[in-house]
Amino acid sequence: MDNILANINLLTSLAPVLNLELIVNGLLVGALFALIAYGMALVWGVMNIINVTQGAYVVFGGYISFYVVRALSGLAPGAPPILWIVISMPVAAAAGAALSYAIFRLVVQRILERDLFISLLATFGIELVLQQTMNQLFTAEERVVDAQLPTFAFLDYMVNVPGSRAFGAVLGVVAAVLIVLLVRYTRFGRAMRATAQNAQAARIMGIDTDRIYAMTYALNGAICGIAGSIVAFVFVLHPFQGFIYTLRSFAIVILAGIGNIVGVIFAALGLGVYENYAGFILGPEYQNGMVFIIVPITLLVRAWIVRRHRQYLK
Amino acid sequence: MKHSLFAGAVALAATAFAHGAFADTITLGAAVSQSGKYSTNGQHTMNGYNMAVEAINAAGGIKVGDKTYTLAIKYYDDESTPARGAELAERLISQDGIKFLLGPYSSGLTKAIAPVTEKHGVPMVEANGASRSLFTNGYKYTFAVLSTSEQYLASAVALAAEMAKAEGRDPSSLKVAMAMQNDPFSQDIRAGVMDDATALGMKIVIDDKLPKDLNDMTPTLSKVRALKPDLLVVSGHSKGAATAIRQLSEQNVYVPMLAMTHCDSADIVGKFGAAAENTLCAAQWAPTLTYRDDLFGSAADFAKAFKEKYGYAPPYQAAESAAAVEVFADAFRRAGSLDQSAVRDALAATDMQTFYGNIKFDETGKNTAKPMVLYQVQNGELKVVAPTKWAEAKVIYPRPK
């Protein structure tokens, strides 16, 4: 308790400028979470599947990016690694899409019309298998990609923005905008939205919903692949690290409400800032717990609002 | 023709006998992580065990009483899960009839297995469970060759005090920040640092517990920036080490002295280069130490042989694992029988030097004869800087900005 009060004191009177740093860092990681959560929201909205495998796809994309960067920088040493990182992104996206397409055909398409519990169980199982496969293939050694970007310091070194995080956030935003455009303005995007609204009606209108499901799931794999290549140079890769990203994207989608795309972005940015504060004030061991507590609170508040609404109708 | 073939077969059998092909085998059992989050260190552990078994067999095996035995190990994969480890220990003992166990990797797994071996009266020599809570339960059959975890970074506190004195500062003016993972092993390290720091009158300004699935420690580092401790101590296995080095440099956080565990297994030098410079790293063992034994020769000889065999320099996890097998072999010899309680008593009376260090167990089964060493990353190399007896280089303090 003393600890918590001391931390609050630090933020309010001793070094208020730290607030700025917490907020900036929170927003930067939030942009990355937004990308991952966006993919989860897509799968959830269109296919009614809670994709617990999300984190494993992210880590997988990270490893692909790591190996591509390593191979390329071996070929041409001396070139800035950032170039290789940018090149590795589409590769990681393609690999993520291919992997999720294969998993869709193998498992996910068989559980499409089943209840939510089956989808949770199946995707959780896939996650375990993927984690262990990555552990065997890539070993449990921590992997990182070094972007070799400078850190920008402001206000006499009290607010620091690592170039890698800023770059990651920019890439995350660019990727998110491209995906939003894809969903809004392409034929595929329109078919996807139609399927999400009413799969039966979409089928009657001649949309091959099975194909749309497969494409949506593969698109999510590509999103995770890109997010993974950002994770590789911002954080640390480990085969069992995926849970962190699954947990956060789940909380973000719940917070935003299913089908609320703009909400996902704001929820993600907010969550990034919120968890930085939770980690600072309560201590890092509560960071994950404080993220997860958002889920029941959001659901309770929603239930409460809905009930009030119903009473009003009476 | 027929005759000579027969003679040949007899001769072959005779030589085979002379070479011990028909000699009996002592099979040690071990549940080690081959999958799951500890599989890298599990592999180091197995390589250490295998290296020692092969060396002992190549040197003619172990003479127990008037019979000579060769060694073998039966492995199972504990999947890095304590419950699975306990299950497999039970299986090794009850189903496979294994009479002697080698330890798994990590304190958590050892903690799960120790009650099982204790129940069956099966002696276990372990090399990778350093948590001090393993030695407070009155276990009689568990022996650990490594230094326990509260000693890991206590030497960093002593070093900081020494450096402060040299600067003409009172050690009690030092501020210490701790970021330790929330697991038994790291929390023991925390207790050790805490005890030593408070005994010297130092002030603990940050005491953060890192989560097991650590991703981002920037909130802790923001605190470090604001409170300016003289010493920052981090313990979070390989992932914690990698995350700390990356984020300290990315967030422009400066501390005069930085000490952590698992620098070598996280390969912070290879991953981050200059960002890892001047970090102090706790280690159980270093190839430059002057210990030696008859089986492997010096610590450096072991390192060389290991590198030839497995293609990488041995981390201390491999060295201590090899030493555990040596301790067993020595106890078998001295016990003169394979009776479990005789071997247990022989283990308790162990007093030997191995390439890994001196080994002598106290009544709780932990090795009290070997100190920890402290490395510092200097120009991309790990140099022993403490204790002074083995120092290869002078410690660089404070770290240049």
Domains and CATH numbers, chain B: 10-147+289-360 (3.40.50.2300), 151-283+373-390 (3.40.50.2300)
Please report the domains of chain A, with CATH numbers, ordered by start residue. 20-313 (1.10.3470)
| β-sheet bridge partners, residue B297 | B293
Residue B274 in contact with partner chain A when CB distance is under 8 A: no
Q: Do A235 and B35 touch (CB under 8 A)?
A: no
Question: What pLDDT, on a 0 to 100 scale, did the predictor assign at position A157?
Answer: 76
Q: Is the pLDDT of residue A311 over 70?
A: no
For testing the chain A interface, which of B218, B245, B268, B271 should be mutated: the one with the most A CBs within 10 Å? B218
Q: Is the pLDDT of residue B28 over 80?
A: yes
Could you tell me which residue, A221 or B3, shows the higher pLDDT?
A221
Helix (H, G, I), strand (E, B) or coil at B178: strand
Closest CA to B155 of B108, B183, B186, B197: B197
Q: Is the pLDDT of residue B348 over 60?
A: yes
For testing the chain A interface, which of B216, B247, B401 should be mutated: the one with the most A CBs within 10 Å? B216
Quote the ipTM score: 0.86
Q: Is the pLDDT of residue A15 over 80?
A: no
Q: Do A236 and B37 touch (CB under 8 A)?
A: no
* Arithmetic mean of pLDDT, B243-251: 93
Q: Is the pLDDT of residue B22 over 60?
A: no
pLDDT band at B4 (very low <50, low <70, confident <90, very high): low
Residue A5 in contact with partner chain B when CB distance is under 8 A: no
Q: Which of A136, A140, A235 sits opposite B216 (nearest CB)?
A: A235
Q: Do A144 and B271 touch (CB under 8 A)?
A: yes
CA-based nearest residue in chain A for residue B274: A148
**What are B169-210's pLDDT values in tens digits?**
999 999 999 999 988 889 999 999 999 999 999 999 999 999
Question: What pLDDT, on a 0 to 100 scale, did the predictor assign at position B20?
Answer: 43
Question: What pLDDT, on a 0 to 100 scale, did the predictor assign at position A11?
Answer: 82
* Arithmetic mean of pLDDT, A41-62: 94
Query: What residues contact A105, with CB distance under 8 A and at least 6 apart?
Result: A214
Question: What pLDDT, on a 0 to 100 scale, did the predictor assign at position B23?
Answer: 59
Helix H or strand E encompassing B351: strand B351-354
Q: Which two tokens stand for residue A231?
A: 């994770």
* Arithmetic mean of pLDDT, B84-110: 95
CA atoms of A223 and A40, how far apart (whole Å): 9
Q: Which of B35, B252, B272 sits opposite A153 (nearest CB)?
A: B252
**What are B129-169's pLDDT values in tens digits?**
998 889 999 999 999 999 998 889 988 999 999 999 998 99
Give CA separation, A290 vs A251, A263, A284, A286, in Å. 10, 20, 10, 6
Average per-residue pLDDT for chain A: 90
Residue A33 in contact with partner chain B when CB distance is under 8 A: no
Residue B271 in contact with partner chain A when CB distance is under 8 A: yes
CA-based nearest residue in chain A for residue B246: A235
Q: Half-sphere exposure of B374 toward its Cβ, with a 13 Å CA cutoff?
A: 27
Question: What pLDDT, on a 0 to 100 scale, did the predictor assign at position A78?
Answer: 82
Q: Is the pLDDT of residue B2 over 50?
A: no
Residue A303 in contact with partner chain B when CB distance is under 8 A: no
**What are A226-246's pLDDT values in tens digits?**
999 999 999 999 999 999 999
Give CA separation, A42 vs A45, A119, A203, B88, in Å. 5, 15, 19, 43
Q: Is the pLDDT of residue B11 over 70?
A: no
Residue A157 in contact with partner chain B when CB distance is under 8 A: yes
